[in-house]
Every structure is written in structure tokens, then in C-alpha cells.
Amino acid sequence: MSRAFDVIVLGLGGMGSAAAAHLAARGQRVLGLEQFTAPHDQGSSHGRSRVIRQAYFEDPAYVPLLLRAYELWRELERDSGRELLTITGGLMLGAPDSAVVSGSHRSAKQHGLAHELLDACEIKRRFPQFHPDADTVALYEKNAGVVRPEESVRAHLDLATRRGATLRMEERVESWSASADSARVKTARGEYEAGQLVISAGPWAGEILRELNLPFQVERQVQLWFEPNGGVENFLPGKFPVWIWETTDGAHPYGLPALDGPGGGVKFAIHHGGKDRFCTAATVERNVSDEEIALARAQIASRLPALDGPCLRAVTCLYTTLPDEHFLIDRHPSHPPVLIVSPCSGHGFKFCPVVGEIVADFVEHGKTRRPVSLFRLDRLKV
């Protein structure tokens, strides 16, 4: 078997497509293998829009990565000629001591990010679409916005191809193995060898890394698009921000503006919401029930009543979550040529280009100057 490739990227979704583009830009001979035709709607990187923000309530350690990600999103737009990042402003709502508000504030202060704190009256004055109760406050971040997942995957794949990568769609990796300085994969069409293997399999990562018994939990999520009563005007970017609301009932709804204009609907979802949500990519129920739409409406009715119009579209998607809800980016503990890249936990998309850059650093230099200690495998004690 000839060794025609330096690195194989297994899975060409959000992370794998970015990794392939960045690796190819460094002159690596890249083979990308994807079981479907990317972008597709079976994994984690579909649904037209993803929230991007810098005041990161999950942990201030993400902020340097986010600042780099913003630069790389703009670079990707220039290189691909596609519109990928739309700045809309972002509203993080909740009680003053909620994780969403206090955590965002902590990140903003620690990293000197532009932000404003709004009380309930000010929220209603500036964004009358929201009906907060008197105890709700918000952190407003003008640099928050939306990235487009399918377009981003296309942009990274196009760039990877232009930079010489070989990308094979509809070619599922059935097994892999590694020696001290190489890795092999087997598909129905053949076997390939390379110096390194990047496993960016998203919700299939637990399966492909079965021997590690990683504590991944695959979670079914529902994305809904509602037509506002009274028209879409007040929900267009410029008038309506991205938003996340840590509610006292623990529901955690969030949403994005009407990116696609009239007829496109306004996206609404509930983070970690839904019944019977734990599943696998093979067993997930892809249909959305009327009961789930009714649960969403119950949240909308009291908080954003103008949004309570017809439901235009309902799509499921998969989170791949670790117990601490941080990412996993590290070498395989027994096979150093294998890099595990699993940045999801429900908040990874905004990082795609910087993750691609980090993967390229690891493959090329064995290390990265980006702060990634939060994502080490040994914290999981497997």
C-alpha cells in the first residue's frame, strides 16, 4: 500500500472540514473521508444558523480562542467569497446571578470585551419583542451574531480541495489501526495509510473510539422556525439579536433572528430540551412531535409573544456532550498518531476555524500555542 497521504481526516462535518482546509493550507497531503455527502443533516452541523459570541459564560478560557475564531471566520469569507458571519448583537438573559448572565459578565470583564448590562425596563425598551419579568437582567454584547453552518462546511471543503486535499464522500470508515508512527483506515472501497489520523466523527465518535469508553452522551435536539404574528420585520437582523435565556424553570430557551427574511422563519430552540433525548446517531427519532412544538410554544407565549405564529419547519440535530460540557481535543492515549477532535457539547460550531488551525498545529508541530488545556483527555479519567 502506498503512503500517498500525510494525514487522514475521518469525518468532514464542522470540525473535519475546517481541519482539512487548514491542513491543506500548510502543505499537508490530506485525505478526507466522509460517510455521507457533506454538508448533510444527519449529524451536528445543520440548521442554517449557529450563535457566535465572545462573552463566554461557559468559561473565560474560551475567549482567546473565540477572538481568533472571529478573525478566521472573516478570513474564510474572504477566501471563499461566501457570507458566513453576520453580526447581530446578542442578549444573554436571566437572573443577575444566573450562569448565563454572571458567567458572560465575568468573561467580558476578564477579557475587556465590549458589553452592557440591561435591566428589565431597558431590555423592553431596546428589544420590545422580549417580555422579561422585573427580576430579569441581560448582558448585551454587540459583537455577537450568527454563523451559517452548511455554508461554512462548504467553504472549508472547497478551500481544502483548492489547496490539494483529496476528499471522498459516501465512504464510511469501518475500522482504523495505528502503529508508533502511522495510522491506517479501512473503508468498503479500500485501505489507506498516513502518518497521522484525525478523528472528527461528531456524534459517531463514541462508536469509532469504542475502546476508550469515553463518557460521550449523544443528545437529540429540536430546532424550530416560527413565523411571527404581524410579520417578520421586528425579527430581522439589526432589530433582533441572538439570545439565550436562563429561565427560573430551568428550560434554557434560545433563538436567532430571521436570517433568511420573510418566509424563512425565526429560529427557536431549547438547549438540552426535549423528551427522551439521549440516543445514538443510529437510533435517533428524526421526526418532531406536536407535543414538542407545544412545549416550545409554552416558552414563547410568555417570553416572546409576537413569535407565537405558525411553525414553518422543525428539524432534529445531535449534541455530543461530555460531563463537564467542554471539548475534547487531544492525542489518543495509546496511539500518538491519532488525534481526537470532538468539540461539541452543544456549543462548538463557532470555533470550527480555530479548531481547524489547532489540528493543523498538532499535526505539523505536535503542539499548539492556542490555550487548549481545558480540552485534555486525562481530565475525563478514562
Ligand X SMILES: Cc1cc2nc3c(=O)[nH]c(=O)nc-3n(C[C@H](O)[C@H](O)[C@H](O)COP(=O)(O)OP(=O)(O)OC[C@H]3O[C@@H](n4cnc5c(N)ncnc54)[C@H](O)[C@@H]3O)c2cc1C
User: Which residues sit at the interface with ligand X, rule CB under 6 A?
Assistant: 10-16, 33-36, 38, 43-45, 47, 50-51, 172-173, 200-204, 208, 221, 223, 269, 317-319, 343-344, 346-350
| Number of CB atoms found within 10 A of residue 267's CB | 26
Give dist(CA 103, CA 107) in Å, integer.
6
Considering only CA atoms, give the Rg of the chain: 21
Q: Looking at beta carbons only, is 180 or 283 nearer to ligand X?
A: 283
Shortest gap between Cβ of 244 and ligand X (angstroms)? 9
Closest Cα to residue 243, out of 299, 174, 314? Answer: 299
Shortest gap between Cβ of 38 and ligand X (angstroms)? 5
Give dist(CA 3, CA 85) in Å, integer.
38
Q: Looking at beta carbons only, is 13 or 228 nearer to ligand X?
A: 13
Q: Looking at beta carbons only, is 326 or 350 nearer to ligand X?
A: 350
Shortest gap between Cβ of 12 and ligand X (angstroms)? 6
Q: Looking at beta carbons only, is 14 or 94 nearer to ligand X?
A: 14
Cβ contact 57:252 at 8 Å? no
Partners of residue 225 on adjacent β-strands: 267, 313
Shortest gap between Cβ of 199 and ligand X (angstroms)? 9
Q: Looking at beta carbons only, is 337 or 356 nearer to ligand X?
A: 356
Q: Looking at beta carbons only, is 88 or 96 nearer to ligand X?
A: 88
Give dist(CA 303, CA 348) in Å, integer.
26
Residues 6+ apart with CB under 8 A from 40: 46
Angle at CA of residue 281, ends 214 and 351, nearest 5°: 70
Shortest gap between Cβ of 222 and ligand X (angstroms)? 8
The kind and range of the H/E element at 74 are: helix 63-80
Shortest gap between Cβ of 108 and ligand X (angstroms)? 18
